[in-house]
């Protein structure tokens, strides 16, 4: 260990069954420790035989964690964590902070594993979502007919929030099971359906099991959501063009996208929907549109979308480095394309769409100078023509895509 960290740091997973549920490795580590960190509930589960100094976590924890470890440098330390410390737990945070080689992890079965065991659900076929630090809106992308979801709750009000979201989405028929204090003496199971759920609050240590059922809309997992899923003033990349644009952007897990001139935010939103780890920043100069982007992101399950209200290129100056950039507006403004190209790392992707002659001329010039791919898309949708049906043409869209060399 370096001098500013404990001499030894062991993370011990503990369940609601407390001390009796620990194996010998965990008990031995705690018995040898000089300091034990944990939440008040976890520390209360320790045996009276543990003589180590007990240090409850401060609030907020993350900013205080480096200083807390430094204050106990050179001592044998244990950290108590709920269940599996590496599954949405403090173990992963400590590894990021001090390095994997400096942390020993002794896991306990997670609440998700215990819930699956009680329900007879195969974990490989279940989607798992933690709402411990996330808003309930993040459940939206996981709601599909016939799918099972296990939700780690923030507190006792989470099940009611889940039920309300499902009901509002048209999935009120979804069976819900709330499993609380799993593995402990106070273990309890409540069952019902989303639309009839009446429990405003339950034991805060709970997992919500959902079997999605109902007549609500089933949103696709691929790019190209129906246009009417977005609130818009007309500044919306239409679904056919959106699908092609997202394919050109090529989202990868964990990557960051800049959506410049975001309009309704559809490109940024569907970038984030492609994978839970994908991140995006929507840059929009109109306050009304910026607010609308945030509303669309909430409704479509990516409330973590960051919305920057400002005009490019100035609004781009302090943003973190992106893996990809989409320019949906501002192509003809001085400095926008140059700022975007400068911000991209080698191998980063830039995609820009044009619908006017002026912006199309900009793309033609960029293509002649820098190469890449230039594509023109014309979409026609069937529409009534008197008593018959004809083709209604949408504005053609020119798409320029470049991988920065």
Count of Cβ atoms closer than 10 Å to residue 347 Cβ: 9
- pLDDT digits 0-9 by tens, 84-139: 999 999 999 999 999 999 999 999 999 999 999 999 999 999 999 999 999 999 99
Answer with the one of 157, 176, 211 that is the final residue of a domain.
211
Residue 371 forms part of a structural domain: yes
Residue 2 forms part of a structural domain: no
Residue 29 forms part of a structural domain: yes
- Cα–Cα distance, 120 to 390 (Å, whole number): 53
- Cα–Cα distance, 160 to 8 (Å, whole number): 42
Residues 43, 98 share a domain:
yes
Check which CATH number belongs to the domain holding 78 and give it.
3.40.1010.10
Residue 267 φ/ψ, nearest 5 degrees: -70, -45
Residue 337 forms part of a structural domain: yes
Check which CATH number belongs to the domain holding 144 and give it.
3.30.950.10
> Domain of 68?
8-108
Q: Which residues pair with 152 in a beta bridge?
A: 130, 207
Residue 342 forms part of a structural domain: yes
Residues 266, 388 share a domain:
yes
Residues 234, 248 share a domain:
yes
- Cα–Cα distance, 42 to 13 (Å, whole number): 10
Residues 330, 267 share a domain:
yes
Residue 262 forms part of a structural domain: yes
How many domains in the chain?
A: 3
Residue 218 forms part of a structural domain: no
Q: Which among 261, 276, 241, 258 is positioned nearest to 381, based on CA atoms?
A: 241
Q: Which residues pair with 54 in a beta bridge?
A: 36
- Cα–Cα distance, 226 to 222 (Å, whole number): 11
Residues 94, 131 share a domain:
no
Residues 390, 263 share a domain:
yes
Answer with the one of 153, 186, 211 that is the final residue of a domain.
211
- Cα–Cα distance, 108 to 330 (Å, whole number): 53
CA torsion sign for 352, 354, 359, 360 is positive
Residues 290, 155 share a domain:
no
Answer with the one of 165, 180, 211 that is the final residue of a domain.
211
Residues 117, 92 share a domain:
no
CA torsion sign for 53, 59, 61, 66 is negative
Which segments in the chain show pLDDT lower than 50? 1-3
CA quadruple 397, 271, 326, 319: dihedral, nearest 10: 160
Residues 397, 264 share a domain:
yes
Q: Which residues pair with 385 in a beta bridge?
A: 388
Q: Copy the structure tokens of residue 7.
A: 């001499």
Residues 280, 383 share a domain:
yes
Residue 372 forms part of a structural domain: yes
Residues 198, 74 share a domain:
no
pTM reported for the whole predicted model: 0.91
Check which CATH number belongs to the domain holding 305 and give it.
3.40.50.150
Residues 129, 37 share a domain:
no
């Amino acid at each position: 260990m370096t001098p500013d960290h404990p001499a030894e740091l062991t993370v011990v997973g503990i369940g609601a069954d407390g001390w009796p549920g620990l194996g010998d490795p965990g008990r031995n580590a705690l018995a040898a420790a000089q300091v034990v960190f944990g939440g008040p509930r976890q520390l209360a589960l320790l045996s009276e035989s543990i003589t180590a100094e007990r240090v409850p976590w401060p609030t907020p924890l993350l900013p205080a964690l480096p200083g807390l470890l430094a204050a106990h440098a050179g001592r044998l330390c244990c950290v108590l964590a709920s269940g599996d410390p590496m599954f949405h737990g403090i173990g992963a945070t400590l590894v990021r902070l001090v390095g994997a080689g400096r942390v020993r992890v002794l896991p306990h079965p997670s609440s998700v594993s215990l819930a699956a065991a009680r329900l007879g659900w195969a974990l490989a076929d279940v989607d798992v979502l933690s709402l411990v630090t996330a808003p309930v809106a993040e459940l939206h992308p996981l709601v599909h007919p016939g799918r099972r979801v296990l939700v780690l709750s923030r507190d006792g009000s989470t099940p009611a929030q889940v039920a309300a979201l499902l009901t509002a989405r048209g999935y009120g028929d979804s069976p819900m099971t709330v499993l609380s204090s799993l593995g402990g003496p106070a273990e309890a199971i409540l069952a019902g359906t989303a639309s009839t759920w009446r429990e405003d609050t339950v034991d805060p240590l709970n997992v919500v099991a959902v079997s999605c059922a109902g007549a609500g809309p089933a949103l696709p997992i691929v790019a190209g959501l129906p246009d009417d899923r977005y609130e818009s003033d007309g500044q919306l990349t239409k679904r056919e063009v959106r699908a092609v644009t997202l394919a050109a952007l090529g989202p990868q897990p964990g990557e960051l996208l800049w959506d410049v001139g975001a309009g309704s935010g559809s490109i940024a939103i569907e970038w984030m929907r492609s994978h839970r780890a994908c991140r995006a920043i929507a840059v929009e100069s109109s306050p009304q549109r910026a607010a609308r982007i945030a509303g669309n992101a909430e409704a479509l399950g990516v409330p973590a979308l960051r919305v920057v209200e400002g005009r490019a290129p100035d609004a781009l100056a302090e943003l973190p480095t992106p893996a990809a950039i989409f320019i949906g507006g501002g192509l003809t403004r001085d400095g926008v394309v140059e700022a975007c190209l400068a911000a991209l790392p080698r191998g980063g992707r830039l995609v820009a769409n044009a619908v006017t002659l002026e912006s199309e001329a900009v793309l033609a010039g960029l293509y002649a100078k820098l190469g890449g791919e230039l594509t023109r898309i014309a979409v026609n949708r069937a529409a009534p023509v008197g008593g018959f049906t004809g083709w209604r043409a949408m504005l053609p869209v020119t798409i320029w895509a470049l991988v920065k060399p």
